[in-house]
Amino acid sequence: MFVSGAVFGAVACIAAPFHVDADAYRRDATFYACAVVGLWFVLLDGEVTRWEAAAMPAYYVAFVAFVLRGEEKRDGGVRRRRLLSLEEVERGRVGGGGGGGDRRGGEAPFTTRRRDGWRETVAALRGGGGGGGGGGGGDDASSASTASTTARTLLELVKAPLDIARALTIPTSEPSRWRPFVAAASVSCAPLPILFSVRAAVALSRGAWTAATLTCCIACIATWRSVRGRERPPGWWSKTLPLAFAASVAWISLLATELLEALTALGVVSGVSPAVLGVTVLAWGNSVGDLVSDVVVARGGAPEMAVAACHSSPLFNLCVGLGLAFCASHWRADFSAPIALRSHPVLTLSFAFVLASLASSMAWLARRDYRLTRGFGVWLVGLYLAFTASAVATELSGMSE
């Protein structure tokens, strides 16, 4: 609800007014709504079978395949229209027409705007600051600069262990971060977070750890012999991207597990139910990255991409994240019996608000020719605030009883 409501609303408030592709929006919203309804029925049933657990990631794979197939057809149609337009321009030139130059001249400003917007987006995502300016010198400026430098230094000290762990366990192909020693270490250490993440679901024997250690040592030596003395990544380095992705997912899984255990302990101490913690603190912490990235992308000139992410991201979490968790639970239980689910009024409220958000969004945009306005964004943010207030009120009323 946070991504499809608050984040979607924030994108609309910041980048509106703009149009979204009607077919793409209906496709994404429909797939997401069907996934929500399917999970609702599973929750009402009170248990998850192994086939239902396996069907959830498969549903997301089908969604991605459907999107790719649709984009291929659309690109083919665009190429055909461009060829036809070029033929018309050539006919006009032969006949003495001069409209082609005006058409090309009219396209340049749009292309320049999109390119400049994407440059700003990439700079913002990398943490680059914009230019800045400003007058006002004197003591105020010097004290502000000193405070900013101190805060930045403290932040770098806090981030340093995390940056070192990330560099040593996630291979990177970025030229500015390329170091041969770090590259060799990242290839050999990347399996470590993966193994620790797998260990949380499946018990690993001592022989498995020994084999993994030997494999990592061999990979480190081979990588070092290959990249030693190089100033840029070799051509085969792109093949380490799947390993980097798997290590990144493993880190996210480990951190999410620690966060979940901390929230559970906090709920036990304070008497707040895990459901309320899940729809508030955990949802905010899990989706703040979506909020920042989608808003930056929308401000950078690609609001349609941000809107698509507002539906695809929760769909991925719902199908792949939750589906793989159910599959791991079945694996630990040797697929002997379905997994029991405990319902909660807040969960039912969550499903109701998500479906209400999707239905109102589709109806609103259909009536306005799929043009997003700031009023639409305010509506979604208000709907999310109403959901949060209702969830907290439901929990408080249950505690009072």
Counted domains in the chain: 1
Query: Residue 119: in which H helix or E strand, if any?
Result: helix 99-125
Decide: residue 123, CB within 10 A, 0-12 exposed, 13-18 middle, 19+ buried.
middle
Q: What is the pLDDT of residues 187-232, one digit of tens each?
A: 888 888 888 887 766 677 788 888 888 888 898 888 888 888 888 8
Q: What is the mean pLDDT of residues 114-137?
A: 47
Share of the chain above pLDDT 90, in %: 4
Confidence of residue 82 (pLDDT cuts 50, 70, 90): low
Q: Is the pLDDT of residue 238 over 70?
A: yes
pTM listed for this prediction: 0.60
The strand pairing partners of 71, in sequence order, are: none
Confidence of residue 86 (pLDDT cuts 50, 70, 90): low
Decide: residue 92, CB within 10 A, 0-12 exposed, 13-18 middle, 19+ buried.
middle
* Averaged pLDDT of the chain: 77
pLDDT (0 to 100) of residue 124: 45
Q: Which amino acid is at 384?
A: Y
Decide: residue 238, CB within 10 A, 0-12 exposed, 13-18 middle, 19+ buried.
exposed
pLDDT (0 to 100) of residue 157: 85
Query: Does a structural domain hold residue 194?
Result: no
Q: For 141-150, 261-270, 303-312, 364-373, which range has the lowest pLDDT when averaged over its residues?
A: 141-150
Query: Does a structural domain hold residue 111?
Result: no
- CATH number, domain containing residue 339: 1.20.1420.30
pLDDT (0 to 100) of residue 127: 46
* Helix, coil or strand: residue 371: strand
Q: How far apart are CA 257 and CA 255, in angstroms?
A: 5
Confidence of residue 62 (pLDDT cuts 50, 70, 90): very high
Query: Does a structural domain hold residue 386?
Result: yes
Q: What is the pLDDT of residues 272-298, one digit of tens each?
A: 776 677 777 777 766 777 777 788 888
Q: For 51-60, 91-100, 267-276, which range has the lowest pLDDT when averaged over its residues?
A: 91-100
Q: Which amino acid is at 231?
A: E
Place of tokens 């703040």: 288
Query: Does a structural domain hold residue 93?
Result: no
Query: Does a structural domain hold residue 351?
Result: yes
Query: Does a structural domain hold residue 92?
Result: no
pLDDT (0 to 100) of residue 19: 83
Q: Is the pLDDT of residue 112 over 70?
A: no
Q: Is the pLDDT of residue 103 over 50?
A: no
From the list 401, 353, 400, 399, the residue with the least C-alpha distance to 380 is 353
Q: How far apart are CA 45 and CA 342, in angstroms?
A: 10
What residue numbers bound the domain in which 307 lies? 2-74+259-400
* Helix, coil or strand: residue 141: helix
Structural tokens at position 384 = 């999310």
Q: What is the mean pLDDT of residues 84-108?
A: 50
Q: Which amino acid is at 71?
A: E
Provide long-range contacts, Cβ within 8 A and 24+ apart, for 384-387: 384/1, 384/2, 384/5, 384/6, 384/9, 384/353, 384/357, 386/353, 387/1, 387/5, 387/279, 387/349, 387/350, 387/353
Q: Is the pLDDT of residue 65 over 50?
A: yes
Place of tokens 């130059």: 101
Structure letter (DSSP) for residue 372: E
Q: What is the pLDDT of residues 130-155, one digit of tens each?
A: 444 444 445 555 666 777 788 888 88
pLDDT (0 to 100) of residue 125: 46
User: Phi/psi of residue 134, each to 5°?
Assistant: 140, 145
Under 8 Å between Cβ of 300 and 170: no
Q: Is the pLDDT of residue 102 over 60?
A: no
